[in-house]
Amino acid sequence: MLSKNDLKTIARLTQKKYRLEMNRFLAEGGRLCEEAIKSGWTVERVIFCSSFLQSLRARQALQLAEEHGVPVEEVPSEVFVGLSDTMHSQGILAVVEKRAQDSEPIERMRGVPRCMWVGIEKLHDPGNMGTILRTADWLGVDGVVIGKDCVEVYNPKVVRASMGAIFHLPIYEVDDFVGTLRRFQNFSAVLYGADQSGDFSYSVLRYAPKKVLLLGDEVDGLSPEVGNLLQHRVSIPRRGGGESLNVAIAAAILLAEMSR
């Protein structure tokens, strides 16, 4: 059984500060618990609350945890609610250890003839971040670098919107975003910036075999420092109305084209 102290420690993982300090995070819902276990991440324990545990998927995840020897603990609903980040909880969450990637971005880019990366300079909305990661995973992106002014990858809303992509994709939160891009260029990667005022319509360009799509802030776009490095600024022409596209939507349209 979990002690009061254990529970207090786990509850701290709802805060970024303690996720950094403890090198752990929470993955909520049956699907995410399942993905964490199946993807071979270290799941420290699975916590559930039987009064919320309705869905088949959540019950299957619980069973999977037991089969994999993950410690499983039941908690009362008032405790679970304090850990949960959702309105309609599935009643299950996993405490997951963060995992270092087995090689640096540069190592992954060196020597490969083709690859497609995403670079996210600044992004504040966790739903957008998670959705971009989910889309990148589906479309076969080889890696993602994330600047330090972005919402944290292990934020519960990012984890949830990613639908488990964080467990598959090589994701790097880097301190020196611009320096990383420069090193990418040293290995022949071509940098494309998503920019609605860009010179090129996304569908007329021929994309290089090694390429990085750069995404900036929802409002201000990419910084001048990143802008200076770009080989191309790519836009999605407006054929109807509106002021802009959502950044995750723009990323999806561009990545789908770049992955053809």
125 three-class SS? coil
User: Smallest distance from the beta carbon of 254 to a copy of itself, in angstroms?
Assistant: 9
The residues that touch a copy of itself, with contacts defined as CB under 8 A, are: 31, 127, 131, 134-141, 163-165, 168-169, 203, 236, 238-246, 248-249, 252-253, 256-257, 259-260
Q: Which helix (H) or strand (E) holds 256?
A: helix 247-258
User: Smallest distance from the beta carbon of 6 to a copy of itself, in angstroms?
Assistant: 31
C-beta of 75 vs 131, nearer to a copy of itself? 131
d(CA 30, CA 94): 9
Let me know: does 190 contact 232? Beta carbons within 8 Å. Answer: yes
d(CA 149, CA 106): 21
C-beta of 224 vs 240, nearer to a copy of itself? 240
C-beta of 94 vs 139, nearer to a copy of itself? 139
C-beta of 164 vs 216, nearer to a copy of itself? 164
Let me know: does 168 contact 202? Beta carbons within 8 Å. Answer: no
- DSSP code at position 151: P
C-beta of 53 vs 165, nearer to a copy of itself? 165
Q: Which residues, in sequence order, are CB contacts of 96 under 8 Å at separation 6+? A: 24, 25, 26, 27, 36, 41, 42, 43, 44
